[in-house]
A and B are shown apart, each in its own frame.
Chain A
């Protein structure tokens, strides 16, 4: 029996919010019943990006900011794989912002989890795109990923979780992975995951998070309502969490664009590229060049 790479001990600080996410990812994979050799975890650069080393699956440690591009490549090459990209807020919302926006538009059926701690922890606590004004001298307004995600009119699954509530987080991740495995498109989950060393917000966030599903009028299929509820919640000094967008079940008679991303279920990685298998088709292709 061949053995291969095993997880290593985490490098995170004790109490880091990322532990909650890691535990929920493991539970969600188990609950959905995905064979772990079919999972590819694509980590970014930053503390959170090391996550692929701490779990027994396949893993890629991508370039800073490029994890989504690599994850899309993996998924389109082999549609049978369950692909989870996981990184931090600097990785995703600063250096990787272009890919972040386009991931919704591309709508490949993969899960992207951003562990948002509102700081650059690994480089010792600089302001990140989500840091509030005043944090480490930050004079730029924070970026809100959920409002941005809601503004892109594609039927993606969009949610925000809190590492202080692992039970809900696991439920959300289970739903997201199922959404991907049904090939319904891109799933984005922002996990509020405090950095206990440089920006310990556990207590503050626990007091401020508000499950949006408890608000009157909540309808996750209606992004206009969700957007309004989020803005109102934020204006009240609270942080909206929960499932922000859950697209209506697709009409089988009108397949969505996400199905057009792939020509078939075989995909480039599993295509038989042997010369003999393809000889007749190749000769036809070459003969057509006049």
Chain B
């Protein structure tokens, strides 16, 4: 075992005296990265820390860096705990917990100046003043008989390093492993004590930091994909078909648990072609429907989405973006599907693209997407991204305030009987035709992806074609006032604008706070409708600033391009801050270009 005290250098908040720091450094915003080989239990350490921090009322945000394989290969998780709400990865890491050498190597680049590395010295050694080695696997292997419990031992050592409350530290283990039964729990408790004891006996190690308490005990811990699934249920969604694909699969998995209790059906389809067409069929039959997918699946669904657009069948498609094209990087983050979605498919048809920025917003906008799809009888794309879909975050508990179910022009039997003619594609001022599902006595409906007349019969009549195109495309104009408006943050007087959507919300909010401290006020336009481009709110926003940075995760600046196309008069004000390395923005990556005037 290395002797951490001899390698440890004095750091702020400790005295140089042997063993007992006089005053630990207080942390109100901290990040821990835990890395190792797949199967090392890094996610368990992250989970245990998250549970402890939540008990202390802190906001928690975790992200994962895993390879697209089940076991093996390097994997790491990072957890941020903070007294203030956060939905971003912290740019500097306070503590690296390394079960393999790679973790330390990857983590060092982001290690804070006074950060520390805690590592399992059973199989490798690390140099450096702030590297603390404990042979967790060896110690636990001897006492418990299974080295796998090294992760719980590491949690024990962290609890000493950060001055955790001993009782609550233990409670976390008891709660986490209660369901696994007596033996597993006992082994974990033994491992915990081994880790704590080793840490306590290491001079200069205990109480290096003290984590301040917060007041966010009431918050839940969730991910965007769960919020979408819950929003779908309370928004009246009852039929879901999907094909497993990272990072979208959790939506289907949650719905498999939730929907059967509400007469709902979830089917795993044979491919994305089937998934999109199954929801089209179910929607025609009268159900509220959704599928979720990611880039490759979206490409396969493209024909079906266009069919729904021209056949006027309400569907919601959640696109959990990942690195593309092709298989890309399945587990990594990107926002590069927007250009495809805005022009999705052959031919022309209306679609809305909505983009929630937080998990609370995922819940809310999913409900709105269901209403908008049915009110306007067209496809609605719910544009998400890997970080929003899968990073766990504390959030306000979901509630039903503001939830409503609006079925639009769906006719009651009484309304239907008052009509002379029921026409599936009746021309109306706003382009939406009153509608009943099949099975309604007395009337029939015909839907088709061929161009058709009001009755749903195939037609190539040029006059009808023009009227039908105007009927469908006009929805983009008529519906615009109903589409989710932006959330605005910062001073209305600010001359620097920031524009972003999806998970860039968290990093942009953090960047705003940093810029504010530097005396640079900014205004953030958090776009929640991306298409049709929300010119009604974007135009005055752009008019009010001297420069606007569009922050997005892609190479070409796709959202910036859409805005330039819709508002060419503000062409010169728009700049891009782009990132496409597979990881989500850290606040300094936004602060830097803004301060530099890039």
Measured CB to CB, the residues of A under 8 A from B are 1-6, 8, 35-38, 40, 42, 50, 52-53, 56-63, 65-66, 69-78, 80-81, 98-99, 101-102, 106, 261-264, 266-271, 273-275, 278-279, 281-283, 285-287, 289-290
Contacts and interface: CB of A to CB of B under 8 A. Distances in A.
A16 to B, nearest CB: 18
B281 A74 contact: yes
| Chain A interface main SS type | mixed
A43 to B, nearest CB: 9
A63 B441 CA distance: 27
Contact of A289 (B220, B241, B262, B281): B220
6 closest A-B pairs (Cβ-Cβ)? A73-B281, A273-B236, A268-B238, A69-B277, A61-B448, A70-B281
Nearest to B443: A4
Contact of A58 (B267, B280, B289, B445): B445
A98 B424 CA distance: 31
B175 to A, nearest CB: 11
Contact of A267 (B265, B288, B447, B448): B265
Given A275-B404, A289-B397, A77 B282 contact: yes
Nearest to B264: A268
Contacts of A261: 265
Nearest to A63: B307
A285 B234 CA distance: 9
B455 interface: yes
A222 B437 CA distance: 40
A269 B236 contact: no
Contact of B441 (A35, A62, A78): A35
Interface string B266-290: 0101110111111111111111110
Contacts of B222: 289
Given A2-B420, A278-B262, A77 B239 contact: yes
10 contacts: A4-B421, A5-B445, A58-B446, A74-B285, A268-B238, A268-B265, A268-B285, A286-B397, A286-B399, A289-B397
Given A73-B281, A102-B270, A285 B239 contact: no
Contact of A273 (B288, B303, B445): B288
A275 B289 CA distance: 17
Contact of A3 (B241, B265, B422): B422
B66 interface: no
B230 interface: yes
Contact of B446 (A59, A76, A275): A59
A102 B448 CA distance: 24
Contacts of A5: 423-424, 444-446, 455-457
B144 interface: no
B285 A77 contact: yes
B457 A269 contact: no
Contacts of A106: 267
A242 to B, nearest CB: 29
A285 B273 contact: no
Contacts of B456: 5, 59
Residue among A5, A62, A266, A275 with the highest chain B CB neighbour number at 10 A? A5
B258 interface: yes
A59 B455 CA distance: 11
A38 to B, nearest CB: 6
A78 B285 contact: yes
B464 interface: no
A8 B452 CA distance: 13
B238 A271 contact: yes
Contacts of A73: 239, 241, 277-285, 289
| Of A8, A57, A70, A80, most B-chain CB atoms within 10 Å | A70
A285 B220 contact: no
B458 interface: yes
B439 A3 contact: no
Contacts of B270: 98-99, 101-102
A271 B262 contact: yes
Contacts of B287: 77-78, 267-269, 271
B11 to A, nearest CB: 36
Contacts of B226: 289
B15 interface: no
A8 B416 CA distance: 23
Of B239, B420, B441, B450, the most chain A CB neighbours within 10 A belong to: B239
A70 B263 contact: no
B437 A69 contact: no
Nearest to B267: A76
A109 to B, nearest CB: 14
A98 B273 contact: yes
A56 B260 contact: no
A25 to B, nearest CB: 15
Contact of B286 (A36, A78, A262): A78
Nearest to A37: B441
Given A35-B441, A281-B261, A286 B286 contact: no
B446 A263 contact: no
Contacts of B416: 2
Contacts of A264: 263
B238 A273 contact: yes
Contacts of A58: 438-439, 444-446
Given A69-B278, A76-B239, A57 B285 contact: no
B449 interface: yes
Given A63-B303, A263-B260, A275-B400, 18 more contacts: A3-B421, A4-B445, A5-B423, A5-B457, A37-B441, A60-B281, A60-B284, A63-B449, A81-B285, A98-B270, A261-B265, A268-B263, A268-B289, A269-B239, A269-B282, A278-B262, A286-B397, A289-B220
B291 to A, nearest CB: 11
B277 A62 contact: yes
Given A70-B277, A282-B400, A283-B400, A268 B282 contact: yes
A258 B303 CA distance: 30
Contact of B438 (A3, A37, A69): A37
B405 interface: yes
Contact of A8 (B283, B403, B457): B457
A1 B442 contact: yes
Given A269-B287, A275-B404, A285-B233, A70 B280 contact: yes
B220 A53 contact: no
- Quick one: which of A53, A58, A76, A275 has the most chain B CB within 10 A? A58
Contact of A2 (B221, B307, B442, B450): B442
A74 to B, nearest CB: 4
